[in-house]
Structure 1
Amino acid sequence: MSMVEPHKRQMTMEPGEILRRTEAFVRERMSGEGTGHDWWHVHRVRRVALRLAGEEGADAYVVELAALLHDVADHKFHGGDAGAGPRAAREWLSGLGVDAEVTEHVATIIAELSFKGAGVATPMSSPEGRVVQDADRLDAIGAVGVGRAFAYGGSRGRPMHEPEAAPEMHDSFERYKSSTGPTINHFHEKLLLLRDRMNTPSARRMAEGRHRFMEQFLERFHAEWDGLD
């Protein structure tokens, strides 16, 4: 069933109205979600993505639409289906009468965006995609990233830490998707790798402090785990 009712479809809708309706749709769909992939995650990603777009000269309209829709059908919550997000974005934007080229650009960004494993490259094919990917990854690190990691791990029934379970550097998206390791391992398998995978100079600068915070957090975590502090 279409996510946009026929009587709401307007083929000449202005960009500002498209953004307003998209925000309302995403906010309603994702509010109250408890895994760290909620509306406020989207809000933060949009805000940072627009900041980066201004600094890097990317198309702000495409960036904002992609940031708003990037997690509306995340593969983690749709049976591992990596195509769910792009399909949902296409359906929503087409229903609003968004230009086909813009719609496809947004869907492509969402298809390319996700981290797929330590050994898997995830290049973005446009400046707008690079900006949105950076903003999404910045929200996965630092203090907010630490909170989100444990929220997601808890939602999946994963232990915080298993000292005998070594981190796994996944060499395929399938192995990464099927991982069930403890949350602390996720820092080594993904989060600590993101600083060096930022696309833009602006994001690399922002990532430095967030990366240092995670290193300090892990040092403190292990000291307390071992009863040393």
Structure 2
Amino acid sequence: MYKEETITAAARYVRELLSGEGSGHDWWHVLRVWNNAKHIAASEKADVYVVELAALLHDIGDHKFHNGDDTVGPRMAREWLEQQQVEEEVISHVCSIIRDLSFKGAGTSPAMLTLEGKIVQDADRLDAIGAIGIARTFAYGGHRNREMYNPGIKPELHETFEAYKSSTAPTINHFYEKLLLLKDRMHTATAKKIALQRHQYMEGFLEQFFAEWEGKR
């Protein structure tokens, strides 16, 4: 019962914190990641308690909204979990997942060391692709006052996290710099199957986008 109460409290805390956020990193994103994670975990022999806590708390201190500081999220998660008197082993595991979760550039590949981390990372990345991924990408681009597309600015496969997080490129570039790369970075069989369909949807969108841009459709 204690674990169920902690999960319920985490959901309440995150919903209050992120409701109404307009960049695509809102409560509804967290809810989808939570549901994705539970779906994937059902096919894996994972610690579902850790999976659910990490999925719920993964975006409470996103580096994109804290001047690129990727220590904020794990720190906020630790503070909240300690207040709930969660055992240290679980806190450390959840915080390490949050620390290593984010995509940090095409040329970087920080290892996600545990099955629980791989499940949550897959769940988060699934929400970055497909129809919802497309919608979130343009929501974030608008939030950052970025051009939708500029033919004169080519995509760049960033070799470092610093280069990736400092990019101000148009939104369409993000597909080539991150989103189209995610299909091949999934860990679990369940996520790989879902990602394939969502990847193909994005390819179709881009084909239509560029045809319309050129006035061909």
Q: Same fold (TM over 0.5)?
A: yes
Partner of 2:21: 33
Identical-residue share of aligned pairs (%): 59
What is the number of equivalent residue pairs in this alignment?
217
Classify the secondary structure of the residue corresponding to 2:43.
Answer: helix
User: For residues 110 and 167 of structure 2, what CA distance do their matches in structure 1 show?
Assistant: 18
Partner of 1:9: none
Question: What is the aligned counterpart of 1:50 among 31, 38, 41?
Answer: 38
Q: Which amino acid aligns with 2:110?
A: T
Partner of 2:199: 211
Partner of 1:190: 178
Partner of 2:51: 63
Q: Tell me which stretches of 4 or more aligned residues in structure 1 moved more than 4 Å.
A: none
Partner of 1:73: 61
Instruction: Work out whether 1:153 is the aligned partner of 2:141.
Output: yes
Classify the secondary structure of the residue corresponding to 1:157.
Answer: coil
The gaps in structure 2 that reach 5 residues or longer are none
CA deviation vs aligned residue, 1:100-123 (integer Å, no higher than 9, x gap) = 000010000000100000000032
User: For residues 180 and 10 of structure 2, what CA distance do their matches in structure 1 show?
Assistant: 32
CA deviation vs aligned residue, 1:124-162 (integer Å, no higher than 9, x gap) = 110000000000000000000000000000000001000
- The correspondence of residues 161-180 of structure 1 with structure 2, limited to 5 A, is 161-180=149-168
User: For residues 200 and 193 of structure 1, what CA distance do their matches in structure 2 show?
Assistant: 16
Q: Which amino acid aligns with 1:196?
A: D
CA deviation vs aligned residue, 1:25-78 (integer Å, no higher than 9, x gap) = 000000010000000000000001011111121111100000000000000001
Classify the secondary structure of the residue corresponding to 2:42.
Answer: helix
Partner of 1:10: none
User: For residues 110 and 94 of structure 1, what CA distance do their matches in structure 2 show?
Assistant: 16
Shift of 1:202: 1.0
Shift of 1:175: 0.3
Q: What TM-score does the superposition give when structure 1 sets the normalisation length? A: 0.94
CA deviation vs aligned residue, 1:179-214 (integer Å, no higher than 9, x gap) = 000000000000000000001111100101000000
The gaps in structure 1 that reach 5 residues or longer are 1-12
